[in-house]
Amino acid sequence: MTVEVKISSIVGLHEDHLRLNDPSCTLMSNGTHVIGSMSLNSCGTQLEEDAENLIFKNEITTVEDPTAVITRRHEVEIGFSCVYPKTGRVSLEFRAHKVPYVFTERGFGKFTYQFEFYHSSQFSQMVDPSTYPVEVPLKEMIYMEIESSSSIPNTVLFVESCRATPIDDPSYHLYYRIIENGCTIDDTVVVYAANGPEYKIGMEAFKFIGNYEEVFISCSVILCKAGDPSTRCAQGCSNSTAAPAVHHHRRRSVALQTASHYISQGPLRLKRSSESADTARSDLSSTSLNMNLVFIAGTLLALVAMVCGVVIFKSK
């Protein structure tokens, strides 16, 4: 900690007669101030504490003779301290690309789900994880793939539901349904692959109305053993009111499918494309041009009406 005392405030006292609690620590002068600088555990600094703070205290005092042991004059005492709260709040925010989700269940051993965004419907180039958040223009297609892998062969991935939220929390009160009960809800969704260990879809980018800049996608997924018609994966799209298969719970007991697991990826950050901006400017120019044409046409009609009125008046 550092303390500075104006020399003008200690008139009549010589700078050399000032010292800290520990006389071996020296004070400096720059001509206008006497300056002391020390660590928190040196120069005779004392630590005190109360219920909320740690308090480091020291003092500048005066002495007639720096070599003297006693004095019979009142000393000038200039106390100073640094106060540190015992508790504080810190936060760190970062947007990391989510690594594959790993689960373990009876009958399936260890299995993983990997959720990724891609640049095109070919699904050949994954969006680089270091570029997150992923920026996409509104209405541009975004491509997503969920891929499963299991220690047992012949498994099928089923995406039960997907929803978008403005924060990384699938239970957030504000959400937009994309897939529900295995059925696509959003009209722009295109399914490219849905049978096997991969699920690939594309949809138009959107944003939430209000003060929200990002979109997170969360999906509930199930892994099933292939070839059994009683699994949820085999049933596919179904209404929420549809009755479940009678033997569904019995089949679950022999581990034909896993429990539902939520996985998510994001964020997507929506930006306005230059093309959209150019289109908007073009539309605005067209509107202005149309309004100008209407104004000119109206002026010409008014002039024609005036000329006709003059001709009729002269003929009369």
* Residues in the chain, pLDDT under 50: 241-252, 275-277, 279-280, 283-284, 287, 289, 310-313, 316
What is the model's pLDDT at position 274? Answer: 52
Structure tokens belonging to residue 132: 């997150």
What is the model's pLDDT at position 21? Answer: 86
d(CA 167, CA 19): 58
Structure tokens belonging to residue 168: 């990384």
What is the model's pLDDT at position 66? Answer: 61
What is the model's pLDDT at position 240? Answer: 55
Would you say 142 and 205 are in contact if contact means Cβ atoms under 8 Å apart? yes
Structure tokens belonging to residue 170: 């699938």
What is the model's pLDDT at position 246? Answer: 40
What is the model's pLDDT at position 310? Answer: 45
What is the model's pLDDT at position 295? Answer: 54
What is the model's pLDDT at position 239? Answer: 73
Amino acid residing at 66: P
Eight-state DSSP code of residue 19: E
Query: How remote is the C-alpha of 25 from its chain's centroid?
Result: 50
What is the model's pLDDT at position 121? Answer: 95
d(CA 202, CA 119): 10
Using left for φ > 0, alpha for ψ between -120 and 50, and beta otherwise, residue 78 falls in: beta
